A and B are shown apart, each in its own frame.
Chain A
Amino acid sequence: MSAEQNIIEVDDLKKAFGENVVLKDISFSVKKSEKVVLIGPSGSGKSTLLRCLNRLEDDYEGKVLFEGENVNGASKEKLCLLRQKMGMVFQQFNLFPHKTVLENITFSPIKLKVASSAEATEHAHELLEQVGLSEKAEAYPQSLSGGQQQRVAIARALAMNPEVMLFDEPTSALDPEMVGDVLDVMERLAKNGMTMIIVTHEMSFAQNIADKVLFMNDGMIADSGTAKHIFKETDNARTRSFLSKVM
């Protein structure tokens, strides 16, 4: 396997908040189309790791390469371009409440001139259809359920035609009956070949979708491997103890 195929490479990543070292010597890589799932106890550094990838967390040591380009050293302008190719979906959706669903989706492609207004609108309608919300284009986010908001948030990230999608616990803030719709959308995205890095506590979903699972504990990748390895075969005591608590 050549390094060329790695869309993301993380090498010796260290991140501290003041005295609190949150990530220690993290190294891993993600290949095109690969689905990587991050699991681990609360506070183990999963969100921080994800946020270092698109530099929502700054000031870390080590190397993060995206398509061969250094994220950590990128200038402001370059960073904006790199972020356009890394869609991110948050636990709290973070839709823009003062914009309609359609405007939420079209705002950045138009503003960043990756599409004309007409193209962006057409693309947005296609995306809304994909996430099953065609009839909500003119609604404001507050009038949607959590599950609907999260699907719009996914559509908004996809509108930039990203190479990678980062998900930070996309279903943790949802009522149980909404979770399925969001996971369905993610599964379809996976089938279409999207490269995905997902932090989740939905273990059966993780098992289904993951090409690779990283188990994080105390700022380190304590265990990693295929879904089969992590969920069935591993003899790592911490992994087993964590899984026995959440499954």
Chain B
Amino acid sequence: MFDFLKQYYPVFVEGTAQTIIISIIGILIGILLGLIFVMMRLSKVRVFSYIARVYIAIVRGTPAMIQVMLIYYTLSKVLEVPQIQFLGSGLDRVIPGSIALGINSGAYTAEIFRSGIISIPNGQTEAGLSLGLSDRTTMFSIILPQAVRNILPALGNEFISLVKESSVLFYIGVQEVTAQALGVGGTLYDFVPPLIVAALIYFVLTFILSQLMQLLEKKMGRKYLQSN
């Protein structure tokens, strides 16, 4: 049933690499946007808070597929990306595609950060400020490290769903692993075996990712969360 792999495995390797790369870029942009938008969301300046709310509401309330297409078609008009081939797809698709993944993930990440930040007692902020630390230092050195520790499981879930959802880039022609599987299915006139291979690849990727997150959780938790 899986004999086709002998011939087609390089295609799957290429697709897997592409999936990993767009996921990593998406996660990084998502974290960055999440941080920016959570600061805006919690800001006392009304306009900032409002912009952040609107962004989060739009991203959460619309299909990822439409977001990706809209961002791709908009960006491809304003962004001059050379037509370089990269792992079977044009960079002019890979770059806007990963940015779109990041923009989507940023909204969820911002909400996760927010839940972590508001879970830290106000006394921590007050202790920092009373020592003469600035708002910024208090946020980045006192509050965020504790918040991140608390939200690691939720962040892990978000990263895992991003890896899986990165398959939406198929719609804009990025040859990630789902696209490659469908391509192979087309030539074989049988979609089931290549799709099973793709599913297994996603499973392995997300499994590894969740193990890494658990490792990080243990490492950060060991320091201070046990009671003695």
Contact = CB atoms under 8 A, between A and B. Distances in A.
A83 B127 CA distance: 11
B227 A142 contact: yes
B141 A83 contact: no
B131 A108 contact: yes
B228 to A, nearest CB: 5
B213 interface: no
B137 A111 contact: yes
Contact of A98 (B129, B132, B137, B146): B146
B1 interface: no
Contacts of B137: 111
Contacts, number: 76
Contacts of B224: 97-98, 140-142
A112 B132 contact: yes
Contact of A112 (B121, B133, B135, B227): B133
Interface string B113-154: 000000001011011111111110100011001100100000
A84 B124 contact: no
A96 B227 CA distance: 15
Interface string A76-115: 1000111111111010101111100000000110011000
B87 to A, nearest CB: 40
Nearest to B145: A98
A21 interface: no
A121 interface: no
A142 B129 CA distance: 22
Nearest to B142: A96
Interface string A45-56: 000000000101
Contact of B227 (A54, A90, A143, A160): A143
Q: For A76, A82, A111, which residue has the most chain B Cβ atoms within 10 angstroms?
A: A111
A186 B135 CA distance: 29
B133 A54 contact: no
Interface in A57-88: 76, 80-88
A153 B127 CA distance: 9
A212 interface: no
Nearest to B225: A142
B223 A83 contact: no
B146 to A, nearest CB: 5
B149 A80 contact: no
Given A142-B228, A143-B228, A160-B132, 9 more contacts: A54-B130, A56-B130, A83-B130, A86-B130, A94-B127, A95-B127, A98-B146, A108-B131, A157-B130
